[in-house]
Amino acid sequence: MDEKKNELFYQPKNGYDLIGAAERTACEDYCKGYMAYLDAARTEREAVSEAIRLAEAAGFAPLGDDAGPIRPGQKVYLNNRGKSLLLAVGGKKPMSAGFVVGAAHVDSPRLDLKQLPLFEDAELGYFRTHYYGGIKKYQWTAIPLELHGTVALKDGTAVDVVIGRDKDDPQFVVTDLLPHLAADQMQKTMAKGVEGEKLCILAGSVPYAGEGGDRVKLAVMSLLNDRYGITEADLISAELEAVPAFDVRELGLDRSMIGGYGQDDRVCAYAELAAILQTEAPERTAVCILADKEEIGSVGVSGMRSQAFERFIARLCGDTCTVQESFSHSFCVSADVTAALDPMYPEVSEKQNAARLNYGVGFCKYTGSRGKSGASDASAELVGYLRRLCDDAGVVWQMCELGKVDQGGGGTVALYMADRDIDTIDAGVPVLSMHAPFETTAKFDCYMTYKCMKAAYGAE
Ligand code: MN
Ligand code: MN
């Protein structure tokens, strides 16, 4: 009977039963590079600048104004306002044959400082914040935070801000109530226990010498002025992001997992990036996108709905074909993370169709919620194509769905790529504690997502 089962049943296996010593070593090497990238890329801007540094080292050059159609083997990138990045390696075939694109995002949930953030209360200085993306607010209290971002000055120059990354630098925190006095708070729902306006970041406590009010606020502003030459008015034109200060670490006694902030979706962004940096002369032009603003709907000039993508592809096409013609023959892997089955919370997943740690890159035919709403729902033919591509390249993959029917759901950039007449499917790394300040992935799945991207770029 077992023989018949093996013949007829789809029986996914734990990845560690499928790979040998050489592949395990390759996996470890790959994850070292990923962990270093994740440690260096705490914001979308840093994810872009770090990717450019790696791309230039691999021979990529900025797309010049005079460039015609992309040449076979040519390696170019377009830095979209420092917040999203588009890279390409010219294929042997012309752009009219379409291109293979990996689309991931590099923005992650965080606490953004408001434009007038600074105030003091009871002689303590604070920054007010407005959270970015979907967070469980209680998770962001009582953990160490760093401040990263940029302040645009009136004279047109900008000042980059990083406070808390260096070991000697001070860090920040959002305080929470002690349990002794939390009787009322503990009666509230988890959604209401910590309210958005209470996510204020403690910024200082020593008053400025002299008489009068707002002395701690003045002292904090004075320190910012000493360090960065800025005033309170300059904060109006600033983007300052408070992000978890945790180092990226190996997890588990067997070191098989990775813990870190921002793995959604820098884990897939790095997989795409590492794959395209090793792509030399693909059949079809390879394109890699590190997009911004996915967590708030792919909006804005640096989001995936932006025409910046059309502008980039138009430059690669030159006068050889229209962007639309090229789109219609293209293939997109929307590389974004998916929810892994959490044995502590099995009730939110339907086990047969849930992604599992160490089972490889997760394909999602559809995402969305309430009857697949908001999904691009890849065609059967496209799923079949990806199955073949990955099996031929020795990529371990699993088919998965983000949570039980009507449990909730989520979206990616997939529908915005499909809107453009590009065949698109979601594939990415299963994550535990997604959107938490410290997310968990399995090294094996990170590595297989990279192999999946390599196989896609290497396809006919
Ligand atoms: Mn994501
Ligand atoms: Mn997300």
pLDDT at position 148 is 98
Report residue 14 as tokens. 């734990």
Closest ligand to residue 105's CA: 1
Neighbours of ion ligand 1 (CB under 5 A): 264-265, 336
Q: What is the mean pLDDT of residues 166-183?
A: 97
Q: What is the mean pLDDT of residues 176-205?
A: 97
Distance 412 CA to ligand 2 centre (A): 8
Residue 24: band (very low, low, confident or very high) from pLDDT cuts 50, 70, 90:
very high
Q: 110-244 — its CATH code?
A: 2.30.250.10
pLDDT at position 66 is 67
Distance 419 CA to ligand 1 centre (A): 19
Q: What is the mean pLDDT of residues 17-44?
A: 98
- Name the β-bridge partners of 148: 162, 241
The pLDDT tens digits of the residues spanning 141-156 come to 999 999 999 999 999 9
Q: Do domains 2-108+261-457 and 110-244 have the same CATH topology?
A: no
- The CATH class, in words, for 2-108+261-457 is alpha beta
Distance 280 CA to ligand 1 centre (A): 28
Q: What is the mean pLDDT of residues 216-221?
A: 98
The pLDDT tens digits of the residues spanning 396-451 come to 999 999 889 988 888 899 999 999 999 999 999 999 999 999 999 999 999 999 99
Q: What is the mean pLDDT of residues 93-118?
A: 98
Q: Where are the domains of the chain?
A: 2-108+261-457, 110-244
Residue 67: band (very low, low, confident or very high) from pLDDT cuts 50, 70, 90:
low
Q: What is the mean pLDDT of residues 129-135?
A: 98
